[in-house]
Amino acid sequence: MTTTPATERPPVLDRGVIPPLCTPLTPDGEVDDASLRRLVDFLVDAGVSGLFVTGSTGEVAYLTDRQRLHTLRTVVDAAAGRVPVAAGIVDTATRRVADHARAARDGGADALVATAPFYVPTHPAEIRAHFRALRSATELPLLAYDIPSFTHTKLPPGLVAELADEGAIDGLKDSSGDIDALRSVLEAVTAPRFRVFTGSETIADVGLRLGAHGIVPGLGNVDPHGYVRLQAAAEAGDWAAAEREQARLRALFGLIKAGDPARMGPYSSAIGAFKEGLRLRGAIAHATTSTPMVPLDGAERAAVRDHLAAAGLIEKGTA
Amino acid sequence: MTTTPATERPPVLDRGVIPPLCTPLTPDGEVDDASLRRLVDFLVDAGVSGLFVTGSTGEVAYLTDRQRLHTLRTVVDAAAGRVPVAAGIVDTATRRVADHARAARDGGADALVATAPFYVPTHPAEIRAHFRALRSATELPLLAYDIPSFTHTKLPPGLVAELADEGAIDGLKDSSGDIDALRSVLEAVTAPRFRVFTGSETIADVGLRLGAHGIVPGLGNVDPHGYVRLQAAAEAGDWAAAEREQARLRALFGLIKAGDPARMGPYSSAIGAFKEGLRLRGAIAHATTSTPMVPLDGAERAAVRDHLAAAGLIEKGTA
Amino acid sequence: MTTTPATERPPVLDRGVIPPLCTPLTPDGEVDDASLRRLVDFLVDAGVSGLFVTGSTGEVAYLTDRQRLHTLRTVVDAAAGRVPVAAGIVDTATRRVADHARAARDGGADALVATAPFYVPTHPAEIRAHFRALRSATELPLLAYDIPSFTHTKLPPGLVAELADEGAIDGLKDSSGDIDALRSVLEAVTAPRFRVFTGSETIADVGLRLGAHGIVPGLGNVDPHGYVRLQAAAEAGDWAAAEREQARLRALFGLIKAGDPARMGPYSSAIGAFKEGLRLRGAIAHATTSTPMVPLDGAERAAVRDHLAAAGLIEKGTA
Amino acid sequence: MTTTPATERPPVLDRGVIPPLCTPLTPDGEVDDASLRRLVDFLVDAGVSGLFVTGSTGEVAYLTDRQRLHTLRTVVDAAAGRVPVAAGIVDTATRRVADHARAARDGGADALVATAPFYVPTHPAEIRAHFRALRSATELPLLAYDIPSFTHTKLPPGLVAELADEGAIDGLKDSSGDIDALRSVLEAVTAPRFRVFTGSETIADVGLRLGAHGIVPGLGNVDPHGYVRLQAAAEAGDWAAAEREQARLRALFGLIKAGDPARMGPYSSAIGAFKEGLRLRGAIAHATTSTPMVPLDGAERAAVRDHLAAAGLIEKGTA
């Protein structure tokens, strides 16, 4: 028997749609295992290439360590090797993130996704040291997670390339919306196995066209088939089809504005809408979100329903 | 035997200087117990009115849960009831903060200090729900911690007053630097037992003059006697003396700029300088800071030394 | 006959209340000369120490060059030497500001007030060169105007001190709200004739206590007597009286929130409220503001009226 | 004789490359007419579709009204009808911008480009009123200029579409870098004659692919032929060629980092580099920039030269 050396095998997260899973909750705020397993099947059956748990869409900031690990273990078990599972290891600084890295490895994660330090404002030299230290703390593939609207730090493209080329990181999840910087990373990295995923729901086709390898769209919870079609069209070089699918998904993405901005923040609105969408599609049982997020009210949920109906995901009038 | 009802006793954190302790580390990054105990004695002997552990100055964002709890237990043990001990319960959202609250209660904390949620941008309605939920999670006195340079949310004065008057919070630690907003809180709160502490090193006298009850100065690690004198002068109504002491402390505070901004962020510089100052004063053994913070180099440490010498805290030429 | 050398005379703007005049407009948007003259008398009679025209409160950004100069000439004529008149020379960069400086000199201004360059983001070295070039362009006393919420640049205290000590600027109007930085300027400047004015309506007493020489409060249009009393109390060292007056003015300042934030920006609300207040007090004929500012509606104007009545400035029920 | 109705003629600015002209200056800071005329010929000969004077790249914020008008008149005269000339009418608020609009019309401009109000923070309702008022002030085609890094206001795509569809604006120059918002505008506008130009040097191909009609690149001063090739490839649907040209231009664009950020702001660096590039190519006589911009030093100018040589625009070693 021979084995393929790691460097000749494709990366664990190679290409394709890797949705950042919503974390279904019971009405009393615990992880809803049955719904989570149903969601995994819903996504895998739609053809996604991997699952990303405890990311920003998964309410990672609102879950306890116990809940994060439980979510990961449940998804790993439900995925049953059909697709790889990446775990968000999101915390304020290195030692805490390294603790999550070890827990996620023990929980069966295939890959890890870590942001720059946050809370304390951080210098590029500190971000560099952070990722190098994380590399020392785990053998798992590690993606840098660039989400400046949450961390208040934009990962400089030159630093991403430096970390990529020295092997400190294996990929990038870019949720910055900064297409120019995304392109700079794609130009600058020379490591052949480095992978770049766009976290954008609305300009994913642009990212793929520029050379990104895959998509990590929060809206991919609600309409995974759409993103799988988009990715397939892109892989086939059929950009017109990719753009048409993207246009449909852009319209659907309007559901994130369901919540009244006078009553709640945009995150409560968006995650509430994703979960209501999943509930309407039968993938999860409850649209409950974490304390202290504000739940959608009846009119707001109806707006989500209208978006799904317009996109052809549910029958008009479904409740 | 009779006991005084809680509402007739002074609040646990009533007035005075409550330094946010630096967390001394060994060269390999673990909590340095012996130094921590020495630091407690140094501060209590200087006349502080309380100790605040695992705050922003205490590298809370860089400490694991285990290290946070260990730090708290060690300080509670070392303080031995001489002064109350407040614990920072700093994390991204409610459930995680509530877990810290329970751990801190079990670790012997006398009071808790919690920020608004961070990482995910947060709406005032969500901040309100956050503090109400924290109140339900613990019996300990709870201070809201307003540090917008880290959380990227300014606690609105009206919301602070609302939470104060309904009893959801017992005090405010204001590290915003916004004197107008501080004054608005002091005007708006009617709850007689509500306490306001300024986190400013450099305009602490202004805060006290406006009615704040005490000071939580990071620089109070290095020069607790100075802040105790400042507070005493203020309590005595001797504002000229308070201002003179403040002027001296303002000059000393220049040490936070010891680190080269091309090499490190301002937090690495400030905390590195506080720790080097404590080391020079003999209060701790090592100036080690957490990964991925950048340590001060020789010239930068010399600049700290010069500041301490100029302030009369060490002999000139001390190494 | 002997003359006093300039360096032995007090600075043109020495101390006291120097309100930034609202610019009264006719309903069709032209400068309302009669109202402007009445406003000058209202303020001078109240005991102000100078008049500041075409500042931010004066809608300088909305006035044409012709209107700016007309406003200045009218005020200089109406003041008739009773108090000095300073002119805001607010524009994007040096050559344009220098043009305003020459026009203001020709229009009779006694002093000039200039911001850092704005629109193009600016480096401290460029700000330094800007003020040095302005100094070369005029003989008039020149105040630096620090209003980072409008210019998006905070004047660094060290740079202010450097410009002060080399004679490039003669004073500072600080509308930053940053008390720590204000204090740094007051500590750092050695030039004995340098003057510092706080632009704050709500912590003016704090500024004076720290050593500022005077106040430039937008609300001073509506209640000049209050600020004159506040300044007088401060000059007399009666800080308790200063704080009482400040508390009264803080409550009155609530009128700036009269406008609905769903309908207009905070500037439309604040300036609209100042002008409505002046109209109610009989100092100007119309509360008209410049295009494209949103005017207050009836309910919003009533809220202004209530504030004035509560402050004892008008009879309750006045319309 | 018959005339074609305006609505059947193509818009004045229809498609193609419309470089925002640098404004050449003599060493003493006046407009260098001979260089300006040479620059016009250089650009027109390269095949540009229009000329945009007194834009952000043209140092509009640093030019006096007289210099702005002189620049426009000179360019109109030099263009001699070969291509249309658009004029930036950049100022803080409506009346001032309307004055520039009238001056530009008198100066021969074919179209106008106006930002949202700046200096005073502005509400969407105020931006709406601003553009409506500008429409009333002139008959010329009017483009909205979205440059939030300078104005600190992002034009909301929905508002742009509303203004477009009611006829208040005829086009958009998008210098926001926000591809998602650009796409939203292109989706939302229904007015068939509305035109969208991207101000990006580095993702211009992306903008064109999404449906933008043309490019307004500052770097198009230095390498107009490159952008003309890029636009032509895009018009021909040869996206691979467009991307190759874009990649070449992206590398060249590195010249904007020639200036040392410790000595100057990014604008001094970028405009200094553009002008040095034009000087090296023989299009203008001096690389002088406006007070208080910091000039490039010898090493920085050499870096510009290296960039031009690497891009094949000058012989290596040219000085």
- CATH number where D119 lies: 3.20.20.70
Question: Which residues of A91-161 form beta strands (DSSP E)?
Answer: 111-115, 142-146
Would A98 be classed as within a structural domain? Answer: yes
Q: Closest Cα of chain B to A129: distance in Å?
A: 5
Rounded CA-CA distance D213/B229 in Å is 69
Average pLDDT over residues A296-317: 94
Give the per-residue pLDDT at D1.
45
A272 neighbors A293 (Cβ within 8 angstroms): yes
DSSP state of B49: S
Cα diameter, chain B? 64
How big is the A-D interface in CB pairs under 8 Å? Answer: 34
pLDDT at res. B9: 85
The verdict on whether D227 is a catalytic residue reads no
Tell me the three state secondary structure of residue C31.
Answer: strand
Distances (CA, A) of C150 to C57, D57, D77, D180: 12, 22, 37, 27
Q: Chain A residues with CB inside 8 Å of B266's CB?
A: 121
Closest residue to B120, CB basis, from A122, A128, A150: A150
Question: What one-character-per-residue DSSP string does A58-69 give?
Answer: TTGGGS-HHHHH
Query: CB distance from C28 to chain D under 8 Å?
Result: no
Q: Count of CB contacts below 8 A, C vs D? A: 149
The residue to which tokens 């808790």 are assigned: B112
User: Does residue C292 have a cis bond before it (omega within 30 degrees)?
Assistant: yes
Report chain D residues whose CB lies below 8 A from the CB of C56. Answer: 120
Query: C61, D99: Cβ pair inside 8 Å?
Result: no
Q: Check CB contact under 8 Å for B292 and A62.
A: no
Q: Is D266 on the interface with C (CB under 8 A)?
A: yes
CA distance C196 to C243: 20
Strand ranges of the sheet holding A16-17, from the earlier edge strand across to the other edge: A16-17, A214-215, A195-198, A171-174, A142-146, A111-115, A85-88, A51-53
- A61–B117 C-beta distance less than 8 A: yes
**H helices then E strands: how many in chain B?**
12, 8
pLDDT mean over C282-307: 98
The C-alpha of C21 sits at a distance from chain D's nearest C-alpha, in angstroms, of: 17
Residues making up the binding site of B for pyruvate: 57, 216
Give contacts of D125 with chain C, Cβ < 8 Å: 263-265, 294
Q: Which ipTM was obtained for this model?
A: 0.96
State how far residue A273 is from chain D, nearest Cα, in angstroms: 20
Which pair of tokens denotes residue B315?
A: 């002999």
Structural tokens at position C120:
């193009």
The confidence band for A244, taking pLDDT boundaries of 50, 70 and 90, is very high
Q: What is the pLDDT of residue A1?
A: 46
The H or E element that residue C303 is part of is helix C298-310
Find the CB nearest B206 among C178, C202, C206.
Answer: C206
Beta-carbon separation of A179 and D247 below 8 A: no
Q: Which residues of D are annotated as a binding site for pyruvate?
A: 57, 216
Structural tokens at position B209? 């003059």
- D295: in domain: no
Alpha-carbon separation of residue A246 from A42, A195, A199, D230 (angstroms): 21, 22, 14, 25
Residues 6+ apart with CB under 8 A from D223: D249, D252, D311, D313
Q: Neighbours of D (≥3 Cβ pairs closer than 8 A)? A: A, C
**Catalytic residue selected from A62, A119, A154, A173:** A173
Q: How far apart are CA D246 and CA D228, in angstroms?
A: 11
The predicted-structure confidence for C240-250, as pLDDT tens digits, reads as follows 999 999 999 99
In the predicted model, is pLDDT for residue D283 greater than 80? yes
Return the closest-CA partner of residue A281 out of A232, A230, A225. A225
| B200 contact residues in C (CB cutoff 8 A) | 180
CB-based contact B120 A96, cutoff 8 Å: no
In a domain, C187, yes or no: yes
Asked if D309 has any chain A CB less than 8 Å from its own CB, the reply is no
Q: What does the alpha-carbon distance between residue B296 and residue D110 come to, in Å, rounded to a whole number? A: 60
User: What tokens appear for A26 in the block?
Assistant: 């019971």
For B261, the token pair is 């901004």
The kind and range of the H/E element at D242 are helix D239-253
CA distance A6 to A9: 5
Q: Answer whether residue A139 is part of any domain.
A: yes
Residue B178 touches partner C, C-beta closer than 8 Å: yes
Picking from C250, C244, C249, the residue whose alpha carbon sits closest to that of residue C223 is C249
Residue A78 in this model has a pLDDT that exceeds 60: yes
Q: CA angle, D164 as apex, D159 and D168 as ends, to 5°?
A: 95
Work out the mean pLDDT of chain A and round it to a whole number. 96
Sheet holding D85-88, edge to edge: D16-17, D214-215, D195-198, D171-174, D142-146, D111-115, D85-88, D51-53
Residue C275 designated active-site: no
Cross-chain CB nearest to A94 (options B93, B118, B291):
B291
Percent of chain C with pLDDT over 70: 97
What sign does the dihedral C61-C64-C65-C70 (CA atoms) show? negative
Lowest-pLDDT range of A6-20, C76-90, C112-126: A6-20
E-only strand ranges, D89-192: 111-115, 142-146, 171-174
Q: Which of D187, D203, D239 sits opposite A179 (nearest CB)?
A: D203
CA distance C52 to C20: 5
Interface test with chain D among C66, C92, C130, by most D beta carbons within 10 Å: C92
Residue B139 near residue B170, CB atoms below 8 Å:
no
Chain B contact probe: residue of A31, A60, A71, A96 with most B CBs at under 10 A: A96
C123 touches chain D (CB under 8 A): yes
| In-domain check, residue C275 | no
Residue B202 contacts C, CB cutoff 8 Å: yes
For residue A209, the cross-strand partners are: none
Question: To 10 degrees, the CA torsion angle through D239, D242, D248, D253?
Answer: -120
Decide if C118 touches D, using CB distance below 8 A: yes
What token pair was written down for C96? 């344009």
pLDDT digits (tens, 9 = 90+) for C13-51: 999 999 999 999 999 999 999 999 999 999 999 999 999
How far does D98 lie from chain C, in Å, by closest CA?
A: 9
Determine contact: B154 vs chain C, CB below 8 A.
no
CA distance D45 to A119: 54
Q: Which helix (DSSP H) or strand (DSSP E) does residue D301 occupy?
A: helix D298-310
DSSP state of D154: P
Q: In chain A, whose CA is at the least distance from the CA of B122?
A: A265
A117 touches chain B (CB under 8 A): yes
Task: Determine whether the interchain pair D250/A209 forms a contact, defined as Cβ–Cβ distance below 8 Å.
Answer: no
What is the maximal distance between C-alpha atoms in chain D? 64
How far apart, in whole angstroms, are the C-alpha atoms of residue A165 and residue C225?
Answer: 68
The reply to whether A128 touches chain B by the CB within 8 Å rule is: yes
Nearest to A292 among B29, B130, B149 (CB): B130
Task: Answer yes or no: is pLDDT of A4 > 90.
Answer: no
Task: Show Cβ contacts of residue B74 under 8 Å, excluding neighbours closer than 6 positions.
Answer: B31, B33, B36, B37
Min Cα separation B111/chain A (Å):
22
Residue A51 near residue A18, CB atoms below 8 Å: yes
In a domain, C279, yes or no: no
Domain count, chain D: 1
Across chain B, which has 319 residues, the per-10-residue mean pLDDT values are 66 97 98 98 98 98 98 98 98 98 98 98 98 97 98 98 98 98 98 98 98 98 98 98 98 98 98 98 98 98 98 79
pLDDT at A319 > cutoff 80: no
The confidence band for D315, taking pLDDT boundaries of 50, 70 and 90, is confident
Q: What is the CA radius of gyration of chain D?
A: 19
Distance CA D133, CA B195 (A): 52
Q: Quote the CA–CA distance of B209 and C205 in Å, as a whole number.
A: 11
String of DSSP letters for A213-270: -EE--GGGGT-HHHHHHHHHHHHTT-HHHHHHHHHHHHHHHGGGG-S-TTTS-HHHHH
C-alpha span between A155 and A115 (Å, rounded): 9
Q: Is A188 on the interface with D (CB under 8 A)?
A: no
Domain residues for the domain of D75 are 9-238
Backbone angles phi, psi at B249, to 5 degrees: -70, -35
Is residue C24 one of the residues assigned to a domain? Answer: yes
Is B72 in contact with B54 (CB distance < 8 Å)? yes
Q: Find the radius of gyration of the CA atoms of chain A.
A: 19
Residue A318 CA, chain-centre distance (Å), reads: 28
Whether residue C183 and residue B209 make contact (CB cut-off 8 A), yes or no, is no
Interface touch D129/C290, C-beta < 8 Å: no
Kindly name the residue from B62, B145, B154, B275 that is annotated as catalytic: B145
Nearest alpha-carbon partner for D219 in D185, D240, D245, D186: D245
Tens of pLDDT, residue by residue over D139-188, are 999 999 999 999 999 999 999 999 999 999 999 999 999 999 999 999 99
Residues of A in contact with B267 (CB under 8 A): 120-122
Residue of A nearest to B131 (CA): A292
* A317 — pLDDT class (breaks 50, 70, 90): low
C268 touches chain D (CB under 8 A): yes
The angle that helices D33-46 and D224-235 make with each other, rounded to 10 degrees, is 30
User: How far apart (Å, rounded) are the C-alpha atoms in residues A82 and A79?
Assistant: 6
A269 and B CB contact within 8 Å? no
Domain assignment present for residue D91? The answer is: yes
Query: Nearest chain D Cα to C99, which residue?
Result: D64
Smallest CA–CA distance, residue C101 to chain B, in Å, is 33
Q: What is the pLDDT of residue D8?
A: 74
Task: Output the average pLDDT for chain C.
Answer: 96
Are B119 and A123 a contacting pair at CB < 8 A? no
pLDDT tens-digit series, residues D23-60: 999 999 999 999 999 999 999 999 999 999 999 999 99
Give me the residue from A179, A187, A239 closest to D206, CB to CB: A179
Cα–chain center distance at B252: 18
Distance set, CA C47 to CA C151, C189, C217 (Å): 31, 29, 14
**Confidence bin at A115 (pLDDT 50/70/90):** very high
Number of helices followed by number of strands (H, E) in chain D: 12, 8
- Which of chain A's residues have a Cβ under 8 Å away from the Cβ of D242? none
